[in-house]
């Protein structure tokens, strides 16, 4: 987000797009998987 952006002009669609972009970045701490991949793999695991 630009530093000069007004918060009154931010909508949920914009915030969701930012969160989605962040969740698609691979992380070394997750063994080079994305947060989405980790959550999906946990949802498929038997408890």
Structural domain boundaries in the chain: 12-43
Helical H segments across 1-47, by residue range: 12-23, 35-43
pTM of the model: 0.66
pLDDT at position 44: 78
The pLDDT tens digits of the residues spanning 3-41 come to 787 888 889 999 999 999 999 999 999 999 999 999 999
Whole-number pLDDT of residue 37: 93
User: Can you say how many angstroms the Cα of residue 11 is from the centroid of all Cα atoms in its chain?
Assistant: 17
d(CA 37, CA 17): 17
pLDDT of residue 1: 65
Q: How many CB atoms lie within 10 A of CB 34?
A: 15
Do the beta carbons of residue 26 and residue 32 sit within 8 Å?
yes
Which pLDDT belongs to residue 47? 61
What is the pLDDT at residue 34? 97
């Amino acid at each position: 987000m630009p530093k000069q952006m007004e918060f009154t002009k931010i909508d949920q669609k914009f915030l969701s797009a930012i969160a989605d972009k962040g969740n698609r970045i691979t992380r070394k701490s997750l063994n080079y998987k994305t947060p989405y991949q980790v959550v999906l793999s946990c949802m498929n695991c038997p408890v």
